A and B are shown apart, each in its own frame.
Chain A
Amino acid sequence: MTTQTTGFQGGAPPSALSGQRRGPAPAAPGRASRPGSAYVLPATLFFLAFAVVPVIGVFVLSFTSWQGLGDPTFIGLDNWRRLVSDPGVLAATGTTFLLTALSWATQTPLAIAVGVWAAGRQRNRAVLSTIYFLPLLLSSGAIAIAWRAIVDPNFGIAKYLGPFIGFPDGNIIGNPKSALYVIVFVLIWQFVPFHSLIYQAAARNIPAMLYDAATIDGATRWHAFWFVTLPQLKNTIITSSTIMIVGSLTYFETILLLTQGGPGDATVTLPYLMYQGAFNNYEMGFAATVAAVIVVLGTLVSLLIVRFSGFGRMRSTLEGL
């Protein structure tokens, strides 16, 4: 039976067959046949072609002028010069950072609170949790379209709710001062369920022993949350925050569907500016320059978070296994 050796294996030769006297067996503990590099090639080539090449393409196109048809023509640093002097880009950068900061500062505490609460084993919590996760069933497009009807100043809920929160005409979405906050609120509604799901799973993994020990030490509920739950959730907070921040820096579907950057330029963020530049104005080269800034920002933020949080160590333990 053991004489059957398929040609696939790249690793250890079948030393069991050829007797013990052939010197040290290659890879002593792992006698099993192992797959070779051929197995990773399809996924690698595919990922290179449709994900890595586009990332490089962003930078290449940023040095070109291209209307979307024909071939891009090389124009050197023109797009980059325009980028640094364009007041629209500066304003969009500010809006992007504001949106990112507001999203993170609202979604993180909410998601932790909901996730930790939903992690409790009580029956009512289990039932409520299924409702809490309802927004996960809807696509971001569907959510934005539903909210557009809700905040419609003439026929929507905003008409009735507006007067109570300082908008007698109900036009919360059409006011340059409040439109961005509507976006922030819709993003909370859309993304907190996903993040609370992550926190719920993580909170359930905290050993009950730690809470028992805290209780013996006379800890109150608040102490237990502050000194046991939160420190135990550290890695999850880092993961969730990275997803949230990088997401906020790059995501524009809700803005496209809800406000289209308006009123005026009040909700134009960098990714929306990129989309508008490329597919409404057909200035693909300049839009790619904006995209390059987004790629750099997004990567930088995730690297910084990984670097200063010790999350990199966690990743490398994953890798070493």
Chain B
Amino acid sequence: MAERSIARPNYAAGVLAGIWLVIVAMPVVWMISWAVQRRSEYLANGPLALPRNVTFGNVQAVIAAGFTKYMVNSAIVTVASIVLTLVLALPAAYAIVRSREWLAGTVFRMFLLGLAIPAQATIIPVYWILTRLGLYDTLTGIVLPTVAFGLPLVILILAGSLRDVSGELYEAMTVDGAGPLRAFFRLTLPLSRGAITTVAIFSGLNAWNGFIFPLILTQSPEKRVATLGLWDFQQEYGVDVPMLMTAVLLSALPVLFLYLFARRWLVAGLAGVGGK
């Protein structure tokens, strides 16, 4: 009958879904397969052969080449970016939602317009400003523009969520004698934990995956982050595909943990961008 026409299993879509699955999954399968075999085996058997002797020896080679240091640098940049983002964006979103002063509204419109700024097109002046500030080749130099260009979206998401804290709760706080600062810490922050987590993950991913700002703003191996380390390995050990793939997978390990334990928040944050 008519109602079955939608409820019946959709075989055509199933077949297409299978094709898409192969396209998405095969490169990941190859990466893993190449990462767990020796270089000699990879060269002898070709890229399509499955690994016969699974080895994790490539991890040692990657670590010996200094990749741990790059991962630590990435971690520092990521944590610093998350903290700075929250310290700047939370009070701003709070005032945008609650303040009656004209500046808050103007600032919100500025951040909405800021969504349209293409960050990658500004790398030359960013380089100019940060060399002037003496921050070239420092991790701080990477954090500053990374956080700045993330702010518009972060504030948009936070403001959307902070609006859900009801005005009555604020009035109750005021009756109890709390000023805006206390309401912020006792009411707004605890009730917005979900949005804060989402935004922290969003800005953390942004910082961890960042490539262009580290590329133009750092130079020495001591300040190299993981994404740049991959690029450097590619130049230096380009023929050693198993080692390269091991480094690629290692660089995704922290994100994998995040995906496993915080997928809900990640999805919520992304949906906040595209939701109706």
Are B122 and A40 in contact (CB-based, < 8 A)? no
Stretch at the interface among B58-66, B168-176, B189-197: B168-176
Q: Which residues of A contact B6 (CB under 8 A)?
A: 211, 214-215, 219-221, 224
CB B222 to nearest CB in A, in angstroms, measures 19
List which B83-128 residues lie within 8 A (CB) of chain A. 87-89, 91-92, 94-96, 98-101, 103-105, 107-112, 114, 116-128
Given A33-B183, A35-B99, A215-B6, does the pair A198, B271 have CB atoms closer than 8 Å? yes
Are B167 and A57 in contact (CB-based, < 8 A)? no
CB A127 to nearest CB in B, in angstroms, measures 10
Q: Which residues of A contact B228 (CB under 8 A)?
A: 141
B147: interface (CB < 8 Å): yes
For A, the interface residue count at a CB cutoff of 8 angstroms equals 125
Interface flags, B218-231, vs A, CB<8A=1, else 0: 00000000011011
Q: Which residues of A contact B116 (CB under 8 A)?
A: 246, 298-299, 302-303
Smallest Cβ-Cβ distance to A4: which chain B residue: B177
Total A-B contacts with CB atoms under 8 angstroms apart: 348
Determine which of A55, A148, A197 lies in contact with B117 in the assembled complex, contact meaning CB atoms within 8 Å: A55
Q: Which residues of A contact B20 (CB under 8 A)?
A: 110, 114, 132
Are B5 and A37 in contact (CB-based, < 8 A)? no
B163: interface (CB < 8 Å): yes
Determine which of B13, B149, B171 lies in contact with A32 in the assembled complex, contact meaning CB atoms within 8 Å: B171
Smallest Cβ-Cβ distance to A195: which chain B residue: B274
B71: interface (CB < 8 Å): no
A110 to B92, CA, bound (A): 37
Q: Which residues of B contact A97 (CB under 8 A)?
A: none
Are B248 and A39 in contact (CB-based, < 8 A)? no
B138: interface (CB < 8 Å): no
Are A34 and B252 in contact (CB-based, < 8 A)? no
Are B230 and A141 in contact (CB-based, < 8 A)? yes
Q: List 8 A-B contacts (CB under 8 A).
A: A50-B145, A110-B20, A137-B256, A141-B211, A148-B234, A271-B120, A274-B123, A295-B118
User: Footprint of A on B, CB under 8 Å?
Assistant: 2-3, 5-6, 10, 13, 16-17, 20-21, 23-25, 27-28, 30-31, 34, 42-43, 46-48, 87-89, 91-92, 94-96, 98-101, 103-105, 107-112, 114, 116-129, 144-145, 147-149, 151-152, 155, 160, 163, 167, 170-171, 173-184, 208-212, 216, 227-228, 230-231, 234, 239, 241, 244-245, 248, 251-252, 255-256, 259, 267, 270-271, 273-276
